[in-house]
Amino acid sequence: MAKTYKIAVLGGDGTGPEVVREGIKVLKAVAAVEGFKLDLADYDWGGERYLKTGEILPPNAIAEMKKHDAIFLGAIGHPDVKPGILEKGILLTLRFALDQYINLRPVKLFPGVETPLKNKGPADIDYVVVRENSGDAYTGSGGVMMKGTPHEVATQTAVYTRHQVDRCLKYAFDLTKKRKKKNTLALCGKTNVLTFLYDLWERAFHEMGQAKYPKIKREYYHVDATCMWMIKNPEWFDVIVTGNMFGDIITDLGAITQGGMGIAAGGNINPEGVSMFEPIGGSAPKYTGQNIINPLAAICAGQMMLETLGEEKAAARIEKAVMKVVAKDLKSLSAGKMGKSTSEVGDLVAKYSV
Ligand code: IPM
Ligand code: MN
């Protein structure tokens, strides 16, 4: 019997639903040729629903998501809702409640795609950032006192437990081993200032590496230097592992070196549970409904989803098709400048995938 995957589809805000539609088009095309089925369930969570009903997520949201094999997410963020409400209330809530402790963000430049890095090409830009996704300054630890007075105090505490650090490092070491590329894992930290937090990371990194992964080369970079080398010598990197906040920041930098937000995908992964895949670019509200946004990041998120579900052949088909489209059909990866519409790009990838 054909395998069926239950996928929760959260189009979300802005251009989210448009790019997700193209992602699903491609997923359906490869499912048909590889012989598996998709059982898709739509959820209308996002800014529009919040503005209409006042509710950010229904009370059964997490239980509902746990019934699925994976979640396919468009984008969260609405121009009429104060920043933070939907991001924390939906995106971060799902990441945390489903314990998606890895945020996997590949930085890979495909042939034919323009990069702002001078004299660098696809052979130089091909690495993965493993961003820890459950701790750091994202936990909500902190608060404000004497708000609105000249003595106002605000704190937001970066928190890591050994358990969180270890499970993330294990994932990163395993991935480095599996990639068989440069066999090098780089820890990105800030041990010269965050002497508690990244001291924990650094000790755990070397302890685990020495004991369990002696063949994997370990490197350490401060986060500021990491930014510099991602521009100057991206070919040094194979897998970079880092905390949640640094991971957030360096992956936007990485994304622009691989052609921008039109192509950058990410996976919020719980290796033992329900994972969620998304284009990392956001809701791009000004392009909503114009059929000009680039759906490739969402399509690549779908590819990561299939890879994680174990449909590696189907995933490889999508990657090959995306590479063909960017090399051959698109003038640019930017919204409105592709020389093709959103749905035409989806059609082409679907066609090349089968
Ligand atoms: C990302 C985003 C989110 C984050 C925001 C929207 C909460 O920037 O996925 O990178 O900081 O993780
Ligand atoms: Mn970000």
87 lines ligand 1 (CB under 6 A): yes
CA distance 187 to 202: 8
Instruction: Take residue 354 and report the two structure tokens written for it.
Output: 């089968």
Pocket test for ligand 1, best of 85, 90, 91 (most atoms within 8 A of CB): 91
- Give 250's contacts (C-beta < 8 A, 6+ positions apart): 129, 188, 223, 226, 227, 230, 240, 242
- The runs of H, that is alpha helices, within the chain are 16-34, 47-53, 61-66, 85-86, 93-97, 162-179, 197-212, 223-232, 244-257, 296-309, 312-328, 342-353
213 alpha carbon to ligand 2 midpoint, in Å?
Answer: 30
∠ Cα 136 256 99 (to 5°): 30
Helices and strands: H and E segment counts in the chain: 12, 12
- Using DSSP, state whether 216 is helix, strand or coil: coil
Residue 114: predicted pLDDT: 96
Q: Which residues of the chain register pLDDT less than 70? A: none
91 lines ligand 1 (CB under 6 A): yes
CA distance 270 to 69: 11
Pocket test for ligand 1, best of 248, 250, 278, 283 (most atoms within 8 A of CB): 248
Atom 10 (ligand 1) nearest CA: 248
Residue 221: predicted pLDDT: 98
Residue 248: predicted pLDDT: 97
Ligand 1 atom at minimum distance from 266 CA: 9
- Bridge-based pairing of strands 3-12 and 70-75 is parallel
238 lines ligand 1 (CB under 6 A): no
Has this prediction a pTM greater than 0.75?
yes
Ligand 1 atom at minimum distance from 91 CA: 7
What number of other Cβ atoms are within 10 A of residue 216's Cβ? 19
To the query of whether residue 138 is one of the catalytic residues in this protein, the response is yes
DSSP-assigned letters across all residues of 232-263? H-GGG-SEEEE-HHHHHHHHHHHHHHTT-TTT
The active-site residue out of 5, 101, 127, 138 is 138
Give the ligand at the shortest distance from the Cα of 268.
1
Q: Helix 296-309 vs helix 342-353: angle between axes, to the nearest 10 degrees? A: 40
Residue 1: predicted pLDDT: 76
Q: Helix 16-34 vs helix 296-309: angle between axes, to the nearest 10 degrees? A: 40
∠ Cα 77 344 73 (to 5°): 30
Residue 281: predicted pLDDT: 87
